[in-house]
Structure 1
Amino acid sequence: MSSESNKKAEAPKAEMNEPGLRNVKTTNAFKIINFELFAKPNKKVMSLGTAVFLAACGYILYIRMTDEYRNVPTYNTMNDDGTITRRVKTSKWD
């Protein structure tokens, strides 16, 4: 009798060892739509995604910090020889 009670006690533990929603009965459509809930974590892909995200944030920060994109209003003009130059906007009142 003690062996039967041990088996019953161990059965829920075995189900609890696997984290996440993999054991929950759901439809295939739900699993496809919410793939990230059922996929195992992948450290290589996660680190690559983090690196790309940080690189994109760094690039945006770099662009915002350069002189070209400061709060100086500018516009592009085409010269007589066909070259395009950037000029600072001036007020007609100045």
Structure 2
Amino acid sequence: MSDKKAPAPGDGLRSLRSTGIFRAVNFELYARPNAVIMTIGLAAMGICVGYIAYMRTKYENMGYYAAVDKEGEESFVQKKSKWD
């Protein structure tokens, strides 16, 4: 008699037989989701995206716009009038 229980619906890859090396290399497939770590990661990602958006609008409100130069790099250039 084995101590293994029968696979239940929702077990996914955890119920299949595999080697220790496969489990070590593909850890994310076998680890259970952690809501606390996921929340911290989503908050950090949101803060980063918000900061980038804030900096972009800050430069645009100062009179700068995103321009692409000949090499294909984006840079912020101050708007100039042809009349000056």
Q: Give the structure-1-normalised TM-score.
A: 0.55
Q: Max radius of gyration: which structure? A: 1
Change (3 A) 1:47 1:27: same
CA distance in 1, matches of 2:16, 2:7: 11
Tell me if 1:70 matches 2:74: no
Determine the structure 1 residue equivalent to 2:42.
50
Partner of 1:79 in structure 2? none
Q: State the partner residue of 2:15.
A: 23
Task: Name the aligned partner's letter for residue 53 of structure 1.
Answer: M
The gaps in structure 1 that reach 5 residues or longer are 1-11, 75-87
Write the distance in 2 (CA, Å) between the matches of 1:69 and 1:49.
34
Q: In angstroms, what is the RMSD of aligned CA positions?
A: 2.9
Superposition misfits of 4+ residues, deviation over 2 angstroms: 67-70, 88-91
> As a proportion of its length, which structure holds more helix?
1
Q: Is residue 63–residue 69 contact of structure 1 (8 Å, CA) maintained in 2?
A: no
Structure 1 residue 25, shift from structure 2 partner: 1.5
- Contact 1:64–1:70, Cα closer than 8 Å, also in 2: no
Percent sequence identity over matched residues? 34
Task: Return the TM-score normalized by structure 2.
Answer: 0.60
Greater Cα shift, 44-53 or 64-73: 64-73
Deviations along 1:54-78, one digit per CA (max 9) or x if unpaired, are 111111111111126931525xxxx
**Alpha-carbon offset, residue 20 of structure 1:** 2.1
Gaps of 5+ in 2: 66-75
Partners of 1:58 and 1:17 in 2: how far apart? 39
